[in-house]
Chains A and B, each alone.
Chain A
Amino acid sequence: MISLLKGMWQVFLHTFRRRVTIQYPEHVDYLPPRWRGRIILSRDPDGEERCVACYLCAAACPVDCISLQATEDAHGRRYPASFRINFSRCIFCGYCEEACPTDAIQLTPDFEMCEYDRQNLVYEKEDLLISGPGKYHDYNFYRVAGISIGGKDKGEAERESPPIDPLGLLP
């Protein structure tokens, strides 16, 4: 009997505490940018796809839910021809983002992606690719990489000298 009253007293005291629960979805709480939610593919500051289809995200994925196929444009710029994430398998661990050498794949503070049908959780490249740089504003892999692409010739990357002439006779 006494313990019951003690319990009711505690409940009564809690009516004067600050409320923890918020009225979702009317009110949406703040999620930090590093929240590991829905995965996106970002673009570099020039508006081009950042993903170079290196397959590292797929290799890092512990549930193997990323599959892609690399291809190249006429000037040697590599990009994914297809990119698929099966979110019904994804555990939002963020290893893919950690593995990504070009900051292309990023996890975002969005978790509202429930579906009635599991099949709808399979996201293709057009569902993943956004039009901005995401969390990382400045990085452009092709500006530092030593390969040439359309609009950037050999020797035009950061910290590169102009190409040498191997047939030249000067020492």
Chain B
Amino acid sequence: MALIYVENKAYKVEDGQNLLAACLSLGFDIPYFCWHPAMHSVGACRQCAVKQFKDKHDARGKIVMSCMTAAVDGVRISIKDPEAHAFRAAVIEWLMLNHPHDCPVCDEGGECHLQDMTVMTGHTRRRYRSNKRTFRNQDLGPFVSHEMNRCIQCYRCVRFYRDYAGGRDLESFSLRNQVYFGRHESGILESEFSGNLVEICPTGVFTDKSLKQHYARKWDLMTAPSVCVHCGLGCNTIPGERYGTLRRIRNRYNGEVNGYFLCDRGRYGYLFVNSPDRLRQPLQRRSRNAAPEPVSVEAALAKVEKIFSGGGGVVGIGSPRAPLEANYALRRLSGPDRFIAGQSDVDLALSRVARQILSEGPARSCSISEAADADAVFVLGEDLSNFAPRLSLALMQSVRRQPLEGLEGIPLWQDAAVRIALQDQRGPLYLAMPAPTRLDAVATVAYQDSPSGIARLGFAVANRLDRNAPGPETLGRDADSLAAEIAAALVGAKRPLVISGAGLGSEAVMQAAANVARALAGRGQAPGLCLTLPEANSLGAALIGGGGLSRAVKAVETGEAATIVILENDLYRRAEPLLVERLLAAPRVIVLDHLLNPAVERADMALPAATFAESDGTLVSSEGRAQRFFKVMPPGEGVRESWRWIEAMALAAGALESPWGTIDNLIRDMAADIPALAPVGEAAPGEGFRLHGQKIARQPRGYSGRTAMNASVNVREPRPPGDPDSPLAFSMEGFQGRPPAPLIQRYWSPGWNSVQALNKFQDEVGGPLKGGDPGKRLINPAASGGSYSVQFPEPFVRPEGEWLIVPLYHIFGSEELSAFSPPVMELAPAAYVALAPDDAAGLGARAGSLVEVALPGGTLRLPVRLIDSLPEGTAGLPVYLPGLEGIVSPGEFARIRVMKQGQQGLT
């Protein structure tokens, strides 16, 4: 603790901070631009000047930059000092000299840090009358707009993009008042974190291009706390709605999960909610061969009542992308015995294994922020940049931990000095993957091998750490020394971390990672373990349980069940088409989903299910953290939450005595029924929660157009829709202050309209939110710890003339829902098959030549992409890209032959 004096009053602050951070934490308003809590100080903008005094008797003092001055014991400063105030006003006047006169057409307007700081410093009149310098803009791809004239040269963008996120194609050019931030030429930004520039930029240079398509100001957006549904990490988001459509996604700070940043799939995948392919009205088919016809909700409910009151068994196919509540409701309807987890056999097995490993322990599942703090990392078989992108951003920070610890005499917040001192020093990060990844650039060693080779490496590392751990005696010369090197690096670390997951579809790889973690724990270290899973609720689905798809086929074909209910699940992505056909041959098929997918088109009855933006629910991230998301907008007419549709079915079938009515009642039932989910209700306050007797307003104070937006339909204003499920209201009436952390619906504080208002929601800037970060961990390792998995695979031997299929994920294109978002799909590659150059040469194929890939699930015609260092005998197939859904199953073998010229290439 240090004692600092602000305006002659003493305050206690944490050691090792700069004055700016300390004062902001204390609640003082000091204007700043270049400083960022995640990226610290460089002193580029000169805006945070304060006056520092030698001692009590010093009346003159000197002006210092608060971000560049340590908050050590006895520091005495004044923020209000007239000279310091005049200095800050002068600085912002200089920064504004060339700022264009375009706030009315700027997307940042209304949530602009530059606007806030200009008002805060009191610069209200422009005196400069000469010419302004101008720049040309660049086209930076489908995510980010560029308007360079607005730049105030704070350098935040390049510091985030290059130093923090490891990007290489954004740079500062030129000099003095002509400094330019952009690419060397127009082109798509390469980094998968480019969308964060929108929030990093204190003004409107980088703005959200998807928002521009349907622009609305921050004060007009109805917002609610939400959770990203585009991968298993569970990043917290704030979606915004206007006129019934979703307009954008902003980051919602969670100190233990995503911190300040999101990946581009999470930020731009939301457009599926507005997709023209949304199912917005129940569809019903008179007979199997008739075309589906739209019917009213009432008619659909009457039909549901008729179907389910007739008795007969029900098979319920759940979904790893639907919340716990919908899955549980379905489990109630079908009974635990006929409840199917709705994952492919591989994914189901892996999520069960992940659940088992994480609950047995001894290694604790690791949050993203803990991963960023790890000082030695070993990744087995996970292409994090594509599979769980936010975690790869954390690893880019983790490689700095060991070098930072060796740094003496430089405070850690002195960012430029620290980076110069560290140069290219990086701590241990070992990657083992079949194909190169974007993280390879920061890795100590990026090792390429087949999945079984990777698993063997993991087992060998565990064996080097603990001789009792099973492991192969030898791996071959290079790999043996690598295993020893990795073991030594992990032993030498204070916070070692092992990462694996479902990306390769190999259980052996996951078990190998678990063994490494166990061996480390056996040595008395406290290792972290991240097992990344493909979908937003994969681990939650594993906690609920449920059988495999073959169980469903059996129930349908033996006549045990006449009705099959498919919850938010495109089965064609989960299993080969033949198996799905057998399932859909059931007498009655009812599908609940958001989008028109092939399964919906085959259903006898398709019920429109609300998306994450229109429903409440709980998702369990791959860390095991249950997180609540809330409705951002009411579901449209015809659309209902999945659990409400299923509730009606369960009531008719007699599986439920009385309706739940609200999600709180459902959660209570679920917690009583499934012990593993007992604490789910603690993830967020229930519906009855009130602040000052009020619900929390989803609409900001400045929300406009209330009496005009519906006036074209009816001039009499409708009553705002009620919300029986949450303590938030679809109205601007209600509590507008700072709600508890799980209910934060927007960042705003008087004088702070931009996202930087977040400082006011934290106890200490950059620290946890006031009252603790949201989310409730459901899985904590048992004290006893599990035992070593003993089955390590044999070395990979390629059968003559066959190729082992290795799944390759793509951040843009491989995920189901974001594939309905146009900007995301603009960056998705076309389907291909990846071969090592030597293998391709052996086939007589070159890059781009068409080959026929014969898989057990079907035959594909694909162009060849050459990937260096892909292990011999393996063929990489991108998963879930359009044309490849459900066909690619990891671990299978394919035959490949080159097609003659003139034959049509078709996927």
Contacts and interface: CB of A to CB of B under 8 A. Distances in A.
B706 A64 contact: yes
A61 B706 CA distance: 10
A14 B627 CA distance: 80
Contacts of A93: none
A84 B705 CA distance: 9
- Most A Cβ at <10 Å: residue of B220, B708, B715: B708
Nearest to B180: A166
Contacts of B184: 167
Interface in A10-62: 52-56, 58-59, 61
Contact of B134 (A55, A66, A154): A154
B102 A146 contact: yes
Contacts of A155: 134
Nearest to A159: B131
B173 A162 contact: no
Contacts of A118: 715-716
Interface residues of A, number: 49
Given A64-B708, A147-B147, A69 B214 contact: yes
A1 B214 CA distance: 75
B708 A86 contact: yes
Interface stretch (B81-89, B103-111, B815-823): B103-111
Contacts of B135: 154, 163-164, 166
A124 interface: yes
A63 interface: yes
B109 A54 contact: yes
A162 B137 CA distance: 13
A122 interface: yes
B109 A122 contact: no
Nearest to B703: A64
Contact of B704 (A61, A147, A161): A61
13 contacts: A63-B707, A64-B707, A67-B709, A69-B215, A88-B711, A119-B714, A124-B712, A141-B104, A145-B100, A146-B99, A154-B134, A159-B129, A159-B132
B130 interface: yes
A104 to B, nearest CB: 10
B134 A161 contact: yes
B676 to A, nearest CB: 46
Interface of A: 52-56, 58-59, 61, 63-72, 78, 84-86, 88-89, 101-102, 118-119, 121-122, 124, 141, 144-147, 154-155, 157, 159-164, 166-168, 171
A146 B215 CA distance: 20
A56 B101 CA distance: 15
B243 A69 contact: yes
A146 B133 CA distance: 10
Contacts of A163: 134-136
Contacts of B109: 54
B704 A64 contact: yes
Contacts of B137: 154
Contacts of A146: 99-102, 132, 134, 149-150
A166 B104 contact: no
B715 A164 contact: no
Contacts of A88: 711, 715
A84 B714 CA distance: 13
B706 A56 contact: no
Most-contacted residue by chain A among B133, B134, B215 (CB, 10 A): B134
Interface centre among A53, A101, A166 (most CB of B within 10 A): A166
B660 interface: no
B829 to A, nearest CB: 28
Given A59-B220, A88-B715, A167-B184, 11 more contacts: A54-B105, A55-B216, A64-B708, A84-B712, A145-B102, A145-B104, A154-B149, A155-B134, A159-B130, A164-B178, A166-B173
Top 4 A-B residue pairs of the complex, sorted by shortest distance between their CB atoms? A146-B100, A67-B705, A166-B180, A54-B104
B220 A144 contact: no
Nearest to A70: B215
Contact of B105 (A78, A160, A171): A78
A161 B177 CA distance: 13
A66 B105 contact: no
Nearest to B215: A70
Contacts of A171: 175-176
Given A58-B220, A88-B715, A147-B102, A164 B708 contact: no
Nearest to A166: B180
A159 B180 CA distance: 20
Nearest to B131: A161
A89 B708 contact: yes
Contact of A160 (B129, B131, B173, B176): B131
Contacts of A121: 715
B219 interface: yes
Given A122-B715, A160-B131, A166-B174, A147 B220 contact: no
B102 A119 contact: no
B795 interface: no
A146 B182 CA distance: 18
Contacts of B182: 166
A68 B711 CA distance: 12
A167 B173 contact: yes
A69 B101 CA distance: 22
A103 to B, nearest CB: 11
A53 B110 CA distance: 13
Contact of B220 (A55, A102, A160): A55
Contacts of B134: 146, 154-155, 160-164
Contacts of B180: 164, 166
Contact of A66 (B149, B173, B708): B708
A84 B129 contact: no
A154 B100 CA distance: 11
A147 B133 contact: no
Nearest to B136: A163
Contacts of B147: 147
B897 interface: no
Given A166-B135, A167-B173, A101 B708 contact: no
A167 B184 CA distance: 8
B219 A122 contact: no
A89 B708 CA distance: 8
Contacts of A54: 103-105, 109
Contacts of A65: 705, 707-708, 711
A119 B715 contact: yes
Contacts of B110: 55, 59
B212 interface: yes
A53 to B, nearest CB: 8
From B147, B216, B219, B715, residue with most partner A Cβ within 10 Å: B715
Contacts of B243: 69
B776 interface: no
Contacts of A145: 100-102, 104-105
Contact of A147 (B149, B703, B706, B712): B149
Given A86-B707, A86-B715, A101 B217 contact: no
A58 B700 CA distance: 14
Nearest to A144: B101
Contacts of A119: 714-715
Interface in B171-189: 173-176, 178, 180, 182, 184
A56 B104 contact: yes
Interface string B147-159: 1011000000000
B688 interface: no
A141 B105 CA distance: 10
Nearest to B705: A67
B702 interface: yes
